[in-house]
Amino acid sequence: MGKKNKLQRFAENLTFSNLFQYRYEEVVKGFSLRGKWKTDFFHNNHPLILELGCGKGEYTVEMARRNPEINYIGIDIKGARMWRGLKTAQEENLKNVAFVRTRIELSEYYFGEKEVDGLWITFPDPQIKAKRERKRLTSPRFLERYAKFLTPDAVIRLKTDALLLYDYTREVIEKGNHILLEANEDIYHSGIDNEITQIQTFYEKKWLEHGTPIRYLAFRLNPEWFEKKESKQ
């Protein structure tokens, strides 16, 4: 994408009422919708699901289309990519979808305690080098961040083409005594026919064209994480 197109998209992003993007200094002072997304933005009490690393927003938008009784928020730092999801949501007048442009490690500043009912992590960077393990979105470091705003029964779902990340996440789940709900090393050859396979990202389609297996995990965080937090209050 050329620089001119990026600048045009950045400019148009400023016109979308369902995009939230702030400087670090602003958001850490206190984000006005933190803990109030359902009441003050979506104006309902429907479940709230986040897509982390949403890219072009294909998953966020399509899930919003299919499930009008659920609120969805896509999170990514790439504003030019996110433009596509924002544009589609506006064109289709989807009221149950929003986007936050930020680094995922700052998401805890945007969402309050027990505010989020589930996560989709769709094809994140697997951070192959061992020294970058802490940057993997399913590392204990990130799971601890998610626990600050997830409900105790929230399901975390991972789709990835990377065997390394799939195996790593299974190990994290086991070591952390988290609750594994589903593990599948090749969802497109397993008979699954629902939103897990029916909704595909731009890059997912490319990997499928090359015959790359797509892996899927679903799990809940260890309930003790939430019990300990409540006992400190």
Contact 115/48 with Cβ under 8 angstroms? Answer: yes
Q: Which sign, positive or negative, has the C-alpha torsion 196, 198, 201, 203?
A: positive
Q: Is 131 exposed, middle or buried (0-12, 13-18, 19+ CB in 10 A)?
A: exposed
Q: Look up tokens 């799971």; give the residue.
A: 143
Strand 48-52 versus strand 116-122 pairing type: parallel
Q: Which structure tokens are listed for 222?
A: 């260890």
Strand 19-21 versus strand 97-101 pairing type: parallel
Whether 186 is catalytic: no
Query: Residue 18: which of 43, 45, 53, 47 has the closest Cα?
Result: 43
Residue 180 per-residue DSSP state:
E
Query: Residue 61: which of 181, 202, 160 has the closest Cα?
Result: 202
Q: Which structure tokens are listed for 155?
A: 């399901």
DSSP string, 56-87: T-HHHHHHHHH-TTSEEEEEES-HHHHHHHHH
Catalytic residue among 40, 76, 117, 125: 125
| Residues with catalytic function | 125
